[in-house]
Amino acid sequence: FLGIVGNQIGMATYVVGGFVRDLLLGRKNYDIDIVVEGDARYFAQTFGRYFEVTCVEHKEFLTTSIFFKNGLRIDVATARTEYYEEPAVLPNVEMSTIKKDLYRRDFSINAMAIKLNQEEFGLLLDFFGCKRDLEKGVIRTLYPLSFVEDPTRILRAIRFEQRFNFRIEEHTLELLKKYVAQNYLERVTGQRLRDELEKIIEEPEPIKAIKRMDELGVLNHLFPHSLVDAETLSMLKRYFNRKRSSSPKPVYILAMILLRESSPEKLDSIVKRYGFPKKFPDWIRKAMSISRELKKIIVKGEQLSYRIFFETVRKPEPEILWFIDAFLDEENSKKFQNYLQKLEKEKPKITGSILIDKFGLKEGKEIKKILDKLQLAKLEGLPDDEE
Ligand code: ATP
């Protein structure tokens, strides 16, 4: 129907990018990006006459999003050329043809279009050997300055390479390494890098991409002095395997694990760069000190128990809890999760005010000591009537 609307208003209409790539690969993709050679807003409005949809315009990018009631979304963009007044900042955009629109895209595998207009419905537009690259499993930029104009493509290249088990083409890889070494990632805003990192974390196998980022020197430009050793990898593996909906922002946990040995000054600059919470260095400090304590106990061959968790961990912020959990093997992680659940559920019936009113206790420290003892007894299975 998109093509019919295109015909009705005399606009060449194409589905482009990731949708076409995934269609050719036989993979599911419900992100539909449409490009029209004409006014995207007018296209969306005309489309809206036939369906109950809401259109939202993003003027500066010449795009309009069409939202259906069932949650489906179609993005319509005016075919455009981008020109960069400075490298690594967002470009200016100008109306153009589909060929130029495809040329400004990140990699050849993402630079194909399929025509939707009735007379040529289904025609594949492949101006730059894109289909061949897709068949060969190659990630290739379309022009030499691609990484300079948008260094976030460095992260995108790695993400697609690892997702599809492709390889970054030789010349593209040379350029990637060159611009990484010339600090082009440092020119991008922390927020844009964070967005790309979050997309990497959402991949089914983020560790593969993280290892590749390390191998290509990218990680050290994102998080200087990050530590990637066997412990880092096993912590990340555990975290990504166990990550549940209750996890705080995964990018915080990733950075905490990578930067766990960094000095407070270095952490401060990371906080500024990525807009992390001010408490971030403090989370690492606390998480590390608890982990070190637990490690000592494990090394001694002792079992981790509710008592040990209660004495060393208590109940800090979720970021710290997730870090500690990643630090623990499967068996201890289960114990730890049980401990946290119990800590939440099983509170002693006796409260501070009962101790004051009924038992005449006055001193805060003493009250706290008694409440702690009661809570621990409860964790270890003391029935209510024995309190
Ligand atoms: P995914 O499957 O991860 O959603 P995608 O290819 O759909 O992959 P998007 O980030 O949704 O990725 O981008 C849609 C399309 O826009 C891409 O296929 C690509 O053609 C283009 N694109 C996105 N980001 C860039 C970029 N930084 N530089 C150039 N082109 C880009």
Q: What's the pLDDT tens digit per position in 255-296?
A: 999 999 999 889 999 999 999 999 999 999 999 999 998 888
Q: Is 81 helix (H, G, I), strand (E, B) or coil?
A: strand
- Establish whether residue 91 lines the binding site of ligand 1, counting it when its CB lies within 6 angstroms of any ligand atom: no
Instruction: Give 31's contacts (C-beta < 8 A, 6+ positions apart).
Output: 18, 19, 75
- Establish whether residue 150 lines the binding site of ligand 1, counting it when its CB lies within 6 angstroms of any ligand atom: yes
- The CA 106 to ligand 1 mean position distance, Å, reads 7
Radius of gyration of the chain measured on its C-alpha atoms: 27
d(CA 146, CA 128): 15
- The CA 126 to ligand 1 mean position distance, Å, reads 17
Atom of ligand 1 nearest to the CA of 19: 7
pLDDT of residue 355: 65
pLDDT of residue 352: 67
Query: How much is the average pLDDT of 355-384?
Result: 71
Q: Is 16 helix (H, G, I), strand (E, B) or coil?
A: strand
- The CA 159 to ligand 1 mean position distance, Å, reads 11
Atom of ligand 1 nearest to the CA of 102: 20
Residue whose C-alpha is closest to residue 258's, from 211, 195, 294: 211
The answer to whether 62 touches 44, Cβ cutoff 8 Å, is: no
Average pLDDT score over the chain: 89
Instruction: Give 244's contacts (C-beta < 8 A, 6+ positions apart).
Output: none
- Establish whether residue 140 lines the binding site of ligand 1, counting it when its CB lies within 6 angstroms of any ligand atom: no
Q: Which residue has the tokens 């206790």?
A: 361
- The CA 90 to ligand 1 mean position distance, Å, reads 15
What's the pLDDT tens digit per position in 299-325? Answer: 887 788 888 887 888 877 899 999 999
Query: How much is the average pLDDT of 141-165?
Result: 97
Atom of ligand 1 nearest to the CA of 104: 29
What's the pLDDT tens digit per position in 11-27? Answer: 999 999 999 999 999 99
- The CA 156 to ligand 1 mean position distance, Å, reads 8
Query: How much is the average pLDDT of 149-156?
Result: 97
- The CA 326 to ligand 1 mean position distance, Å, reads 32
Banded pLDDT at 32 (limits 50, 70, 90): very high
d(CA 373, CA 237): 36
pLDDT of residue 303: 82
- Establish whether residue 195 lines the binding site of ligand 1, counting it when its CB lies within 6 angstroms of any ligand atom: no
Instruction: Label residue 24 left, alpha or beta by phi (over 0 means left) and psi (-120 to 50 means alpha).
Output: alpha
pLDDT of residue 338: 86
Banded pLDDT at 387 (limits 50, 70, 90): low
What's the pLDDT tens digit per position in 55-86? Answer: 999 987 789 999 999 989 999 999 987 777 77
- Establish whether residue 105 lines the binding site of ligand 1, counting it when its CB lies within 6 angstroms of any ligand atom: yes
CA distances from 83 to 86, 88, 312 (A): 9, 11, 56
- The CA 153 to ligand 1 mean position distance, Å, reads 9
**By percentage, how much of the chain surpasses pLDDT 70?**
94
* Long-range contacts at 54-63 (CB < 8 A, ≥ 24 apart): 60/93, 61/93, 62/93, 62/95
**By percentage, how much of the chain surpasses pLDDT 90?**
67
- Establish whether residue 291 lines the binding site of ligand 1, counting it when its CB lies within 6 angstroms of any ligand atom: no
Instruction: Give 15's contacts (C-beta < 8 A, 6+ positions apart).
Output: 2, 32, 33, 34, 113, 114, 116
pLDDT of residue 251: 95
Atom of ligand 1 nearest to the CA of 156: 27
- Establish whether residue 153 lines the binding site of ligand 1, counting it when its CB lies within 6 angstroms of any ligand atom: yes
d(CA 82, CA 91): 6
> Is the per-residue pLDDT at 178 higher than 70?
yes
Q: How many CB atoms lie within 10 A of CB 30?
A: 10
Beta strand pairing status for 113-115 and 13-16?
A: antiparallel
pLDDT of residue 113: 97
- Establish whether residue 206 lines the binding site of ligand 1, counting it when its CB lies within 6 angstroms of any ligand atom: no
- Establish whether residue 106 lines the binding site of ligand 1, counting it when its CB lies within 6 angstroms of any ligand atom: yes
> Is the per-residue pLDDT at 384 higher than 80?
no
Characterize 234-269 residue by residue with b for buried, 16 or more Cβ atoms within 10 angstroms of its Cβ, and e for exposed. Answer: ebbebbbeebeeebbebbbbbbbbbbbebeeeebee
